[in-house]
Amino acid sequence: AQSVTQLDSQVPVFEEAPVELRCNYSSSVSVYLFWYVQYPNQGLQLLLKYLSGSTLVKGINGFEAEFNKSQTSFHLRKPSVHISDTAEYFCAAYFGNEKLTFGTGTRLTIIP
Amino acid sequence: NAGVTQTPKFQVLKTGQSMTLQCAQDMNHNSMYWYRQDPGMGLRLIYYSASEGTTDKGEVPNGYNVSRLNKREFSLRLESAAPSQTSVYFCASRPKLRTNYNQPQHFGDGTRLSIL
């Protein structure tokens, strides 16, 4: 079955430290991957997307992600986090149909 | 600002009451979606509409109905609300481009619904 897995439900990080949020997928068909961010009491905002082409994708707010087909991963990274990055982050994928499948989310907490 | 607009933003219902959540987008998108978000479960698809005049069930359709009123509007109805339907509901839309069908979805700010 096709699925998206975010193993870390919560990630605490000190301000200005680097962060990696992990996302793995399971699929036997072509996959199209996204990272969304949700700030408190708001909707989801697109951070970045991988549709095809270069496996290193740059997004907004200094985030980037790398598509790794052999490891079936699409991890999100930022070299130096700020307080304003405190939010919940969702990995999502299309598996060759209309429906977007979401992971369960990772809550990123920045420690001053 | 262009985007996806959901109304109301907050609602409290009693068990057994009915209500309709409204969603409208002004981006000329073909596809529209309704999700519910519960703690620790991510977003789960309730219903979607791939184009005007069509609707299909998602992962958790029981207890809900939808109407794609026109290209802009997609409503979600709870006929007899139950406490298990307490959740945050999100509407989303996306274009269908001839060059690439896998475009990201754009989300509204959500409706926070409590059922007592």
Mind listing the pLDDT tens digit for each residue in A15-70? Answer: 999 999 999 999 878 889 999 999 988 899 999 999 888 889 999 999 999 999 99
- B108: closest CA among B27, B38, B5? B5
The DSSP result for chain A, as a single string, is --EEE---SEEEEETTS-EEE--EEE-SS--EEEEEEE-TTS-EEEEEEE-SS-SEEE-GGG-EEEEETTTTEEEEEESS--GGG-EEEEEEEE-SSSPEEE---EEEEEE-
Rounded mean pLDDT of B84-113?
88
Beta strand A24-26 with B111-115 is unpaired
Query: pLDDT category, B107, cuts 50, 70, 90?
Result: very high
Query: Nearest CA to CA, how far is B93 from chain A (Å)?
Result: 11
* A105 interfacial to chain B (CB closer than 8 Å): yes
Q: What is the pLDDT of residue A23?
A: 97
* A90 interfacial to chain B (CB closer than 8 Å): yes
**Chain A neighbors of B48, CB-CB under 8 A:** 98-99
Amino acid at A31: V
